[in-house]
Structure 1
Amino acid sequence: TWLIDKDDILIIKNGDEYQGFEVIETSKDGIVLENSKSITLNLDKDKKNYFTDSWYFQTSDKGKGSTSPEGYIIRLAKDLDKPGNYTLRGMPVDTGVTSSDGFYWNAATFGGFNYPVNKHKNFVASEDWWGERLQYVDKDGQDELGVNNPGNHVIGEGELLYSTRQFSNKYDLVSDLGLTASTIPPELGGMFYYKLPWFGKPYVTVENDASQLANIVITQGSSDKKVLKSGDVWDLGKGYSLTVNQVDVEGDKVWFSLSKNGEELESGIVNANGTVENQIFTATADFGDGTDQLYFITYVDSVFMSATDSFAVFKYTWLIDKDDILIIKNGDEYQGFEVIETSKDGIVLENSKCITLNLDKDKKNYFTDSWYFQTSDKGKGSTSPEGYIIYPATDVVVEDKNATVPIANSTEETNITSESNESENVSADHRKAPSSGTAGMEDKESHPEEAAEGSSTKLPGFGIISGIIGVMMCLALRRKS
């Protein structure tokens, strides 16, 4: 069945305007438009520079992520503002023209990977790179993928490598307050901590060791603050909470406690009007393979009195889950991959079973719990009659918070890089228990809410950000009056 709406025809003419663009050329074969007003980019990684109703440019901060101190990174993005199912699609590769070493994706070319835009140059570097990589490596010289055998659709055991390396992050407190190595409070232990992306989600490395991973519970960004009055309880996530016991406005002090599952872990009185060292509160514990490891930071920015209550303002709060440490060892298996190399800097895994690709554009060839290869039909889209197009993909669900029934199963495919992988405060637990029974692992039975999610990532609410690698979708344009 095929049907178009004969009663709603859009006639496009030169001079018409659509979403900030003016039509400058029309023909039977296509349309050309240009922006009708100047676009001034705000060089702030947290700002959206709209140039249509839903498309915008997003940049890194000035001088961040670029090879030039004056440069910046820029990418196209689109708001996913309707509840539904969406596909984050990686860069397509043609087996008809690509050599066997060209089947390779990093954070800039696959939306399933973690991608902090301010670190772009390090994430795409050819040497000493950071972040995640997925690469096909031919092992036997026979039936390899690519131009020498464009119809081959079998990835042998151990021929698909997933590599991930840790990267440094400066504490927001250090950046915003202009602290240096000589002025940081000694409790921090340094200006930086390290993260490791693990199957698309960032974790904090314990002792800066990539083989020891801690879940991120919460990180307050530079512009975030939490205002609490005496008696308030702040739910930080994963069972952790901060309780304000008392606020002394005259003495510029606040007394609060950090607890987990109702049991107090730490308590302190912080002066809100003094040096940074006085205003900061930290907590340490023994976990992983280390002792006295930092797991909690908060900063009391100020205290004040309203007409009826006393308040304290908390900023730069940073918390990892000290009780849920993932220890990664050679031989462990995660999501169909076996760990073949561990070091303090990174982890390398390879597929533990052969992957036979179904050359059908409507089929998904899963190689982890949530990542899959999608291909064109054989001989379609390729420069070779025997070739095909292949790209990695993953699905996300944008949920309607107000919905009382499941959302419709409408799916939109987009070439996008998921910004949510950078901005999420909480590290979702996507790992499977390794076959060797590694300590510190939790299965989905322990978390019913995780088991209910299935393999697709669920993103609550609206306005999910997605960077478009190539604009390859249809917009329903409506002429503006």
Structure 2
Amino acid sequence: MKKMIGILAMLFIAITMLPASAENVTYEVRSTVYDNRDPAILPGDFYWDANNFPVLWYQIKPGLSSELFYIHNTWNSSSVIKLGDKIPSGDFYYVSKPQIKRTKIASLDEGTTFIVDGCDLKRYYLMGFFGAQHMVMPTDLSNLSKGCNSDEIARILMDSDEKKNMLTGEEWKLPGGWSLVAQQIDVKGNKVYLELKKKDEVVDTAVVSTDMDLTKQEKTYIYKDDDDKPVFYCYVDSVFRGTDSDLVVLNYVFLRGDIITINTGDTYGIFDVKGFTVPDIMDGVNYAGSGPGTVLNTGDDALIMASNKDIVLSAGKDFDLYGDIYMRNEDTTSPDLKLTLKKKFTIEIPDCPDNVTPEVNSTSSDATDEIPLASVPNNAKVQDPIETAETRQTTEVVQSSAKAPGFEILIGFMGILAAAGIKK
């Protein structure tokens, strides 16, 4: 027994003297399997959506999704796809159809619109772009029923319905290098002087009143770009005079990144942009989600991309699609085919002192709740709307909350010794 306890003690000392470091952890998210031996798999076309490939954008409430990876079986539409088949260039599609959703500020007013400075903030169009949530620019800013432009998208940097209390002179740091300052407050007039900055440069100023006689729209501050499209807005709830400082209460804060224009012919991985309306071959496809817009109809607004090279379904072959998304053919015997889509993610575990838990490097809850785009393979010709200085996201590389060897190991060691003593 003494010998065993001595060995355990030596082991404990050796463990606690090891450097607190570990290698990064990489994992994959996989789609469902296209198994041509499964009787549920029908001949002809096949697609993956957010139901069977969870990397794709999906809002559980209210049941919205927009994305598909679609195989158009032109070589043998009467049969299932087999190992060794070739998906010809142009027959593998990426599709994203914008969905309309109520904004958070819409809860302020039960009316059918919420017009502020000519812009209807009641709803906005959203869509996934290889999994990352984006806002789509409407065709008519004051009449959202006229649809949207699938070729103009922007990352949503912040969309919050939590109240923010700001003191006079305080600078509130926002995502993307933006910030907001409440410079002065006039309590008698129920007014606040706001200053909006980007990278420490003032881009806009405004005096907003919270007078009870005003409408909620008149109490909303909005900043628009040169094309009169909203970039930032917030609702000024109230102002207060304190003993030492004054206070303003803000709510329903929204901020987007720069608008990215997608052009026909642009290339993203193995996909070329073909157009912005749903083609005939996908008419009637009812894909993931319970929202009214999750059915593809010919002519619907949508981003349509098609493969620019042949894909040969060889056994054990991986085929890069875009970013860290790739197609995997399992090593099976012809004609059996087991085909999946996968995406890689990495958890970065940093070196840290004993008993210190590193901060989690993740996107603010005010930004987006979707998985962002990964980096693009070096061999792909890509124009990536995410890779800008303002909107680059880092949520795919997150800091682990795992602690270095310390008190937990000590407690475990004491438990072993106790167990050994009881056994004796």
Shorter-chain TM-score above 0.5: yes
Deviation at 1:426, TM superposition (A): 8.7
Does 2:213 correspond to 1:277? no
Gap change, CA 1:299 and 1:210, over 3 Å in 2: same
Assess, with a 3 A threshold, how the Cα gap between structure 1 residues 461 and 305 changes in structure 2: closer, same or farther: farther
Q: Does residue 1:349 correspond to 2:305, yes or no? A: yes
Corresponding residue number in structure 2 for 1:245: 183
Instruction: Find the counterpart in structure 1 of residue 331 from structure 2.
Output: 377
> Does the CA-based 8 Å contact 1:114-1:421 persist in structure 2?
no
Amino acid at match of 1:350: A
Identity %: 21
Q: Is 1:111–2:60 an aligned residue pair?
A: no
CA contact (8 A) 2:113 2:121 kept: no
Aligned equivalent of 1:389? 338
Match of 1:320 among 256, 259, 267: 256
SS in 1 for 2:61: helix
Q: Per the alignment, do residues 280 and 421 of structure 1 end up closer, same or farther by CA in structure 2, a change over 3 Å counting?
A: closer
The 3-state SS of whatever aligns with 1:157 is coil
Number of the residue aligned with 2:420: none
- The DSSP-based 3-state class of the residue aligned with 1:278 is coil
Q: 1:136 aligns with which of 49, 71, 80?
A: 71
Quick one: structure 1 residues 305 and 109, their matched pair in 2 at CA, closer, same or farther if it must change by over 3 Å? farther
The answer to whether the 8 Å contact 1:374/1:393 transfers is yes
Give the TM-score normalised by the residue count of structure 1. Answer: 0.60
Partner of 2:194: 256
Q: What SS class does the counterpart of residue 276 from structure 1 fall into?
A: coil
Mapped partners of 2:35, 2:182: distance in 1: 59
Alignment-derived partner of residue 26 in structure 1: none
Q: How far is the alpha carbon of 1:427 from its aligned partner?
A: 8.9
CA distance in 1, matches of 2:325, 2:381: 23
1:338–1:350 Cα contact (<8 Å) kept: yes
Could you list the per-position Cα deviations for residues 417-457 of structure 1 after superposition, in whole angstroms to 9, with x for gaps in the alignment? xx999972699566979x9998xx7795x759959x7xx93
Paired residues of 1:107 and 1:133 also in contact (CA < 8 A): yes
The match for 2:84 is: 152
Compared CA separation, residues 117 and 153, structure 1 to 2 (3 A): same
Contact 1:160–1:351 under 8 Å retained in 2: yes
Q: Structure 1: where are the runs of 5+ without partners?
A: 1-82, 124-130, 380-384, 406-418, 464-481
In structure 1, what is the Cα distance between the partners aligned to 2:119 and 2:224? 10
Cα shift at 1:256: 1.2
Distance 2:365 2:150 in 1: 19
Q: Tell me how far apart the structure 1 counterparts of residues 382 and 45 of structure 2 sit (CA, whole Å).
A: 36
Structure-to-structure mapping, 1:397-436, within 5 angstroms: 397-399=346-348, 403-404=351-352, 424=368, 428=372
* CA distance in structure 2 between the partners assigned to 1:183 and 1:240 by the alignment: 25
Aligned to 1:179: 110
Structure 2 counterpart SS, 1:238: helix
- The letter for the 2-side match of 1:263 is E
Partner of 1:86: 27
User: Residue 157 of structure 2 aligns with which residue?
Assistant: 217
> What's 2:172 paired with?
234
Q: Distance in 1 between matches of 2:365 and 2:264?
A: 26
* Native 8 Å contact 2:155 2:391 kept in 1: no
Which range moves more in the overlay, 265-274 or 93-102? 93-102
Amino acid at match of 1:212: E
Question: Are residue 294 (structure 1) and residue 230 (structure 2) matched?
Answer: yes
Residues in 2 aligned to 1:330 and 1:244: alpha-carbon distance in whole angstroms = 43
Change (3 A) 1:372 1:301: same
What is the CA-CA distance between 1:333 and the residue it aligns to?
Answer: 1.0
Contact 2:156 2:368 in 1 (8 A): no
Are residues 1:266 and 2:198 paired?
A: no
Counterpart check, 1:95 vs 2:36: yes
Separation (CA, whole Å) in 1 of partners of 2:31 and 2:271: 20
Question: 1-side partners of 2:327 and 2:366: how far apart?
Answer: 23
| Helix, strand or coil at the partner of 2:74 | coil
CA shift for structure 1 position 248: 3.5
| Matching residue's letter, 2:302 | G
Within the alignment, does 1:334 sit opposite 2:274 as a pair? no
Distance 1:249 1:375 in 2: 67
Q: For the structure 1 residues 353 and 420, does the alpha-carbon distance in structure 2 shift closer, same or farther, using more than 3 Å as the test?
A: farther
Cα distance per residue 1:363-417 (max 9 Å; x no partner): 74321121112343314xxxxx7413222121223445x7549xxxxxxxxxxxx
Q: What's the Cα RMSD here? A: 3.8
Q: Is the alpha carbon distance of 1:180 and 1:422 closer, same or farther for their aligned partners in structure 2, counting shifts above 3 Å? A: same
Larger radius of gyration: 2
d(CA) in 1 for partners of 2:68 and 2:366?
16
Q: What residue in structure 2 maps to residue 458 of structure 1?
A: 397
Paired residue type of 1:163: V
Structure 1 residues 357 and 248: CA distance shift in structure 2, 3 A: farther
Matches within 5 A, 1:10-159: 84-97=25-38, 98-101=41-44, 103-120=46-63, 123=65, 131-141=66-76, 148=80, 150-152=82-84, 154-159=86-91
Output one character per residue of 1:109-141: Cα deviation in whole Å (capped at 9) or x when no partner: 211211011242x64xxxxxxx11111112333
Aligned length: 333
Structure 2 contact 70–94 (Cα < 8 Å) conserved? yes
For 1:334, the aligned partner's letter is Y
